[in-house]
Amino acid sequence: MDLPSAPVAFDDSVRPHAGRGADVGAAVGLLLLEFLVLLVIFGVWLVTGVSLDPGRTVSPDHLWGYLVAAGVVGALAVVAAVIASRSRAVVTVWTQCFMAVVVVAGVVGGVAVQQHEGATEHPAPAPAFTGEAGCRSGGDNSECAGTGG
């Protein structure tokens, strides 16, 4: 008696397989789209620091919002890599992982720059006490001779 066999979850015939041309096309298309989006995000940030009035000095906006937008692009690259891996689109998986690493490196570098600029814009307050306070013990002058009080 023959029992019908159920398809195995890891059977290669069940999973879709992306053709090499579609894989390369998707990889190149996604890379170009992501680079274009990142160029627009950071281009807008750069334009915020430009003034056509020569008598006015402007500085670019803080990077935080732009870094979040870039992080979203990196997260979408990870999602695209996961979807591509399910279709066995190897080229797309590798390029999307590369793009995610580039975005993470850029965001980490941007956070470091923004924290450094924030520290120079708002330095730590100076201590209110800058010298010796003198003698406060209520004793005689011999106790306070070394403090100048």
Query: 138 lies in a domain?
Result: no
Number of domain units in the chain:
1
Residue 81 CB coordination number (10 Å): 20
Query: 68 lies in a domain?
Result: yes
10-residue stretch averages of pLDDT, the chain, 149 residues long: 58 66 92 96 88 79 90 96 92 96 95 80 61 57 57
Q: Decide: pTM greater than 0.75.
A: no
H/E stretch holding 41 reads: helix 20-47
Range of the domain at 46: 20-50+60-121
Query: 129 lies in a domain?
Result: no
Rg (CA), the chain: 30
Query: 79 lies in a domain?
Result: yes
| One-letter amino acid of 140 | D
DSSP label at residue 131:
S
